[in-house]
Structure 1
Amino acid sequence: MIVAALPLLLLLSLVAGQWAPLMSFDQSLAQSLHDAIAPSPGLAHGLELWTDAFGTWAMRIVSLLAAAWLLIRRQVSTAVWAGATVFLANLFGLILKLTVDRPRPEFADPISVAVGPSFPSGHALMAVTGMGILLFAVLPLLRGAWRSIAWVVAIVIALSTALSRPLLGVHWGTDIIAGMSLGLFTVALTLLLWTFLPPIARRWDRPSPASAPKA
């Protein structure tokens, strides 16, 4: 959990302090990515479709649907964990955005546009959070190679969604790292708290096959 938060804490201090080498790196990377993507409208359109399909609202909906599905299956404490995780991720992200208030990249001919402060990336944050929640919900139902496939799919979606933001010129590269770090930290933190829930907090959960009473 602490390891997951380290990139966020380091970048938070450097961005808030306007550390010149980091600012220069972000500016150079943003310009290079813009110069590479801008001449290819088809690629830019594909990136916009992808970032919308797996964007912040899409991941919020996926997370809440996963929570509802867990609730239907009487995995009550896990459903509450999923709902609490998506709520805290959004809360932490909003607090950091308003606190740091970092401007987004600006170009004379922008590929795409976005509003609000830039640090950390909400898309990167919610991609990691949403995929983490969905992965934790479905892994107990999978066996063998399907578990590995689920991990790969979740990682690919989270990474590609996060990377689509600087490619579209609406986030600095370090915003993405910070957003993913915050997502990992939030999921790890809430999982840790969920693991140590007392038995009384799980009284409405459906018993697992191992713990169900035998006839």
Structure 2
Amino acid sequence: MAPGPLPARRGVLATTMAIGVIPLLVLLPLVAARWDPLISFDLSVARVLYDAVSPSPALAHGLELWTEAFGTWAMRIVSLLAALWLLIRRQFSTAVWAGATVFLANLFGLIIKVGVDRPRPEFTDPIATGVGPSFPSGHALMAVTGMAILLFAVLPLLRGGWRTFAWVVAVGIAASTAFSRPLLGVHWTTDIVAGISLGVFTVALTLLLWTFLPPIARRWDRPIPAPATKA
């Protein structure tokens, strides 16, 4: 495998892909069949979260600002800007990976949403509103996908503790954005789990496929500098 800025350990990527998709594969038939225990679980959690957030307009407003700042369209734009930035830096194959990842994530999410067509939670006095089918959560899916693209775009520029910091920030933003959705009453909890699962699967899948690119596909990529070593 040619060296590059992206993870290239095929065994790790294949394992991540296989484990990451399990929650989605478990939830998909249960949600599609409207399995009563799952529906009851989602309803009970939704009511608890609604009762916790609805009395606090300031909390609800803060959650709305956060979920839009790192929401579906914001992450799509961030992903495409990251791909453009990679092109400018002559990381052509990585830019193609970024574009392919955001495209596939949206395609997979759309296919499942339309196929399952799950209604969103409904409240007499809703905190916020959502559009389209509920399963899986597009915000959760794109939060994971977008932050992964941004993370792997900048990791080659970072060293030491900054790399760990970047991982923590990326995971924190993705997770908090995803779970802001049921707090706002616009998604069921299982929608979020499925969206995260699909995001992890898609990122791992495209990273794995990237490792199979022939050397000619990275012929014009700018070399990635080796990490600095202490004397």
Bin of the TM-score, shorter chain as denominator length: over 0.9
Equivalent position of 1:162 in the other structure:
178
Q: What letter is aligned with 2:214? A: P
Residue of structure 1 aligned with 2:108, choices 82, 92, 112: 92
Equivalent position of 1:14 in the other structure:
30
Moved over 3 A (4+): none
CA–CA distance in 1 between the matches of 2:156 and 2:89?
Answer: 13
Give 1:201 deviation, angstroms. 1.2
Equivalent position of 1:52 in the other structure:
68
Alignment deviations for residues 34-58 of structure 1 (CA, whole Å, 9 cap, x no partner): 0110000000000000001000010
> What is the aligned length?
210
Alignment deviations for residues 67-125 of structure 1 (CA, whole Å, 9 cap, x no partner): 01110010000000000000000000000000000000000010000110000000000
For structure 1, list consecutive stretches of 5 or more residues without a partner in the other structure. 211-215
CA–CA distance in 1 between the matches of 2:54 and 2:124?
Answer: 11
Equivalent position of 1:77 in the other structure:
93
CA–CA distance in 2 between the matches of 1:45 and 1:114?
Answer: 15
Q: What letter is aligned with 2:114? A: L
CA–CA distance in 1 between the matches of 2:20 and 2:28?
Answer: 14
Q: What TM-score do the two structures reach when normalised by structure 1?
A: 0.96
Equivalent position of 2:215 in the other structure:
199
CA–CA distance in 2 between the matches of 1:123 and 1:105?
Answer: 15
- Percent identical pairs in the alignment equals 80
Is the contact made by 2:156 and 2:224 (CA closer than 8 Å) also made in structure 1? no
Alignment deviations for residues 129-175 of structure 1 (CA, whole Å, 9 cap, x no partner): 00000111111110011001000000110000001000000000000
Q: Are residue 153 (structure 1) and residue 169 (structure 2) matched?
A: yes
Equivalent position of 2:9 in the other structure:
none
- Which structure 2 residues correspond to residues 135-146 of structure 1 after superposition, within 5 A? 135-146=151-162
Alignment partner of 2:21: what SS?
A: helix
CA–CA distance in 2 between the matches of 1:143 and 1:99?
Answer: 44
For structure 2, list consecutive stretches of 5 or more residues without a partner in the other structure. 1-16, 227-231
Alignment partner of 1:34: what SS?
A: helix
Q: What letter is aligned with 2:85? A: W
Alignment partner of 1:155: what SS?
A: helix
Give 1:208 deviation, angstroms. 3.3
CA–CA distance in 2 between the matches of 1:156 and 1:42?
Answer: 21
- Which structure 2 residues correspond to residues 28-67 of structure 1 after superposition, within 5 A? 28-67=44-83
CA–CA distance in 2 between the matches of 1:208 and 1:139?
Answer: 11
Give 1:209 deviation, angstroms. 4.1
CA–CA distance in 1 between the matches of 2:224 and 2:164?
Answer: 23
Q: Are residue 3 (structure 1) and residue 19 (structure 2) matched?
A: yes
Q: CA RMSD in A?
A: 0.8
Equivalent position of 1:130 in the other structure:
146
CA–CA distance in 2 between the matches of 1:102 and 1:150?
Answer: 35
CA–CA distance in 2 between the matches of 1:90 and 1:182?
Answer: 10
Equivalent position of 1:213 in the other structure:
none
Q: What letter is aligned with 1:111? A: I
Equivalent position of 1:25 in the other structure:
41
